[in-house]
């Protein structure tokens, strides 16, 4: 493909991504993967270039752009190589008209930037939300040891005790060490959230919103496969990904439980007041993960944010019922909005006088309310709020 044809293709893909964001359709990654599958003439260099153009254009536009072309023109304002490619050539984009719309820049839609600023995420902190995420691994201590594991590429230790960092884009899933379960791909922030659980061998631990089990596997390793680890979620698809992952990782103490939305407690009632630790890795707006998922900021609106904060409070209250006296509840969210983090945790403490905030140490992060906040700018991790409460 010519460079101009790559730009035109990226514009058309951006149109599809914008439409999908408006209608809550397929995510950008899936739209790209489908296009690549159906257009085999695009070679690996074309695919890489198109992906780079599309995601750079998404990052360049704060609010949802009016069109893919307007988004690309926005990117052209910061990348001098792009404007000359609007040359009207075969398969390339038409020349730029004098009054053509250029999409707005910024970090996020105005209402969302204002909410972030109220949560002290502005300036460089806000811009870093749209940086490039590194590729972090967690060495699986059930099968390997960070000090002795050798991998096919150069790695650096991260702040997490079992963490390694690699060049983004490294195809680690093709390595034999991945197939043997010696490591998992996991952001340092997620690894540190699991550290806050302080799961011990022999304990009863519940990962209430386990999803595909990224954090469950870290908890199983911390427990050395000893004790009871229950992984639950309302999403059957996500939860079903856990078993093969657990098998590869050699995690043998995990029990999965599928929950019915609004009737979550039914599947967990035998665990009422039984758990040493319950982790709530809450469904959230994901403002801390825009480095990986920049178009998420086009999908969020105030109604969705209210729905999420209400759901977080409900899940929090469910989790409280499962913690035994003397046990602990760990609240984690990959959002940097206080209404989903420090504010949500304070409201929980208000509702549940038998819980009090507990201090815990992490190698990085800054205090936020009664918890700890990790940010891409300050800590080089995805954005997280992590808090812990003990039950009397
Ligand atoms: C942030 S994700 C969890 C990610 C996962 N812990 C990991 O490390 O890969 C939040 C999860 O909460 C789940 N969820 C949503 N509503 C829920 C509910 N009412 N009860 C339990 N889980 C719920 C979602 O399906 C989603 O998998």
Q: Which of 61, 194, 284, 334 is catalytic?
A: 334
Q: Is the CB of 93 under 6 A from ligand 1?
A: no
Which among 189, 205, 209 is the best mutation to test ligand 1's pocket, defined by most ligand atoms within 8 Å of the CB?
A: 209
Count of domains forming the chain: 3
- Is 187 flagged in the annotation as binding? no
Q: What is the CATH number of the domain that holds 146?
A: 3.30.70.1170
Q: Are residues 100 and 64 in the same domain?
A: yes
Indicate if 162 and 278 belong to the same structural domain.
no
Q: Which residues pair with 390 in a beta bridge?
A: 328, 356
Q: Are residues 221 and 314 in the same domain?
A: yes
Dmax (CA) of the chain: 71
Contact of 379 with 364, CB cutoff 8 Å: yes
Tell the residue number behind the tokens 């758990």, with chain if given: 275
CA of 294 to the centre of ligand 1 (A): 20
The whole-angstrom separation of Cα 134 and Cα 165 is 7
Q: Are residues 198 and 181 in the same domain?
A: no
Using the mean position of ligand 1's atoms as its centre, give its distance from the Cα of residue 221 in Å. Answer: 20
Whose CA is closest to 201, among 219, 221, 226, 220?
226
pLDDT tens, residue order, the chain (392 aa) = 999 999 999 999 999 999 999 999 999 999 999 999 999 999 999 999 999 999 999 999 999 999 999 999 999 999 999 999 999 999 999 999 989 999 999 999 999 999 999 999 999 999 999 999 999 999 999 999 999 999 999 999 999 999 999 999 899 999 999 999 999 999 999 999 999 999 999 999 999 999 999 999 999 999 999 999 999 999 999 999 999 999 999 999 999 999 999 999 999 999 999 999 999 999 999 999 999 999 999 999 999 999 999 999 999 999 999 999 999 999 999 999 999 999 999 999 999 999 999 999 999 999 999 999 999 999 999 999 999 999 99
CA–CA dist 254, 240 (Å, integer): 13
262 Cα nearest atom in ligand 1 = 19
Q: Is 281 in the pocket of ligand 1 (CB under 6 A)?
A: yes
Please report how the helices 28-38 and 3-22 are oriented relative to each other, as an axis angle in degrees rounded to 10: 130
Torsion of CA 76, 81, 84, 89, to 10 degrees: -100
User: Cα torsion at 107, 112, 118, 121 (round to 10°)?
Assistant: -30
Answer yes or no: is the C-beta of 187 below 6 A from any ligand 1 atom. no
Exposure string over 337-347, b if 16+ CB within 10 A, otherwise e: bbbbbbebbbe
Asked if residue 129 is part of any domain, the answer here is no
Q: Is the CB of 214 under 6 A from ligand 1?
A: yes
Domain boundary among 85, 106, 127: 106
Q: Exposed, middle or buried: residue 196 (CB in 10 Å: 0-12, 13-18, 19+)?
A: buried
What percent of the chain has pLDDT above 70?
100
Q: Classify residue 119: in a domain, yes or no.
A: no
Q: Which two tokens stand for residue 230?
A: 């229950």
Does 327 lie in the same domain as 200? yes
Tell which one of 194, 196, 205, 211 to mutate to probe ligand 1, the residue whose CB is within 8 A of the most ligand atoms: 211
Q: What does the CA dihedral 151, 153, 156, 160 come to, rounded to 10 degrees?
A: -50
Residue 283 Cα to ligand 1 midpoint, Å, equals 5
From residue 45, how far is each of 41, 42, 48, 50, 52 by CA, in Å?
11, 8, 5, 9, 11
Q: Which domain holds residue 66?
A: 3-106
CATH number assigned to the domain comprising residue 383? 3.40.50.150
Instruction: Kindly state whether residues 328 and 193 are assigned to the same domain.
Output: yes
The string of DSSP codes covering 81-103 is TTGGG-S--TTSPPPPPTT----
Three-state SS annotation for 28-65? HHHHHHHHHHHCCCCCHHHHHHHHHHHHHHHHHCCCCC
334 tagged catalytic: yes
Taking 3-state DSSP, the helix, strand and coil percentages for the chain, each rounded to the nearest 5, stand at: 40, 15, 40
Cβ atoms of residues 230 and 205 within 8 Å: yes
Residue 138 CB–ligand 1 contact under 6 Å: no
Q: How far, in Å, is the centroid of ligand 1 from the Cα of 238?
A: 9
Contact 184, 217 (CB under 8 A): yes
Residues 237 and 286 grouped into a single domain: yes
What is the reported pLDDT for 169?
A: 87
Domain annotation covers residue 121: no
- Based on the fold, state whether residues 90 and 23 are members of the same structural domain: yes
Q: With a 6 A CB cut-off, is 209 part of the ligand 1 pocket?
A: yes
| Ligand 1 centroid – CA 176 distance (Å) | 30
Looking at the structure, do residues 218 and 272 belong to the same domain, yes or no? yes
Ligand 1 pocket, 373 CB below 6 A?
Answer: no
Q: What is the pLDDT of residue 282?
A: 98
| Substitution candidate for ligand 1 out of 189, 192, 233 with most atoms within 8 A of CB | 233
Rounded to whole angstroms, the Cα distance separating 338 from 332 reads 12
Q: How far is CA 2 from CA 31, 47, 50, 224, in A?
A: 21, 12, 11, 54
Classify residue 125: in a domain, yes or no: no
Query: 283: Cβ below 6 Å to ligand 1?
Result: yes
276 lines ligand 1 (CB under 6 A): no
Q: What Rg, from alpha-carbon coordinates, does the chain have?
A: 22
In a domain, 113, yes or no: no
3-state SS, residue 328: strand
- Separation of alpha carbons 213 and 95, rounded Å: 49
Residues 208 and 142 in one domain: no
Q: Return the structure tokens found at 60.
A: 């360049």
DSSP 168-222: TT--GGGSHHHHTTSEEE--HHHHHHHHHHT--TT-EEEETT-TTSHHHHHHHHH
Residue 111 falls within a domain, yes or no? no
Q: Indicate whether residue 264 lines ligand 1 (CB < 6 A).
A: yes
Same domain, 195 and 76: no
Has residue 380 been placed in a domain? yes
Question: Ligand 1: which residue has its CA nearest to atom 26?
Answer: 211
> Is 317 annotated as contributing to ligand binding?
no
DSSP 8-state assignment for residue 251: -
The whole model's pTM is what? 0.95
Q: Does any domain span residue 115?
A: no
Based on the fold, state whether residues 229 and 353 are members of the same structural domain.
yes
Q: 335 C-alpha vs ligand 1 centroid, how far in Å? A: 14
Give the atom of ligand 1 at the shortest distance from the alpha carbon of 286. 1
What is the Å distance from ligand 1's center to 114 Cα? 27
């Amino acid at each position: 493909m010519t460079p101009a044809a790559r730009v035109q293709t990226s514009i058309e893909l951006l149109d599809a991504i914008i439409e999908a964001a408006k209608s809550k359709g397929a995510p950008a990654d899936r739209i790209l993967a489908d296009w690549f599958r159906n257009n085999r003439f695009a070679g690996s260099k074309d695919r890489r270039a198109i992906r780079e153009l599309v995601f750079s254009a998404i990052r360049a536009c704060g609010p949802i752009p009016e069109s893919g072309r307007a988004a690309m023109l926005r990117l052209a304002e910061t990348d001098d190589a792009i404007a000359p490619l609007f040359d009207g050539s075969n398969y390339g984009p038409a020349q730029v008209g004098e009054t053509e719309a250029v999409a707005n820049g910024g970090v996020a839609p105005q209402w969302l930037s204002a909410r972030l600023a109220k949560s002290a995420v502005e300036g460089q902190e806000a811009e870093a939300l749209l940086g490039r995420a590194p590729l972090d691994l967690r060495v699986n201590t059930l099968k390997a040891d960070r000090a002795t594991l050798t991998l096919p590429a150069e790695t650096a230790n991260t702040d997490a005790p079992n963490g390694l960092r690699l060049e983004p884009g490294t195809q680690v899933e093709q390595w034999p060490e991945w197939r043997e379960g010696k490591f998992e791909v996991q952001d340092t922030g997620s690894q540190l959230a699991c550290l806050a659980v302080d799961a011990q061998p022999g304990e009863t631990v519940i990962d209430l919103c386990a999803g595909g089990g990224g954090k469950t596997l870290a908890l199983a390793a911390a427990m050395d496969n000893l004790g009871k680890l229950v992984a639950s979620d309302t999403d059957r698809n996500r939860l079903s990904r856990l078993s093969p992952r657990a098998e590869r990782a050699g995690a043998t103490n995990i029990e999965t439980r599928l929950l019915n939305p609004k009737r979550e407690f039914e599947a967990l009632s035998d665990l009422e007041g039984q758990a040493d630790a319950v982790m709530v890795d809450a469904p959230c707006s994901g403002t801390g993960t825009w480095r990986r998922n920049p178009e998420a900021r086009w999908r969020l609106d105030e109604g969705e944010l209210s729905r999420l904060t209400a759901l977080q409070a409900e899940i929090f209250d469910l989790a409280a019922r499962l913690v035994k006296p003397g046990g602990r509840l760990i609240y984690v969210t990959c959002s940097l909005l206080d209404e989903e983090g420090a504010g949500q945790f304070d409201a929980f403490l208000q509702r549940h006088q038998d819980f009090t905030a507990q201090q815990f140490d992490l190698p990085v992060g800054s205090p936020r309310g009664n918890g700890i906040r990790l940010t891409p700018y300050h800590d080089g991790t995805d954005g997280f709020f992590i808090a812990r409460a003990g039950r009397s």
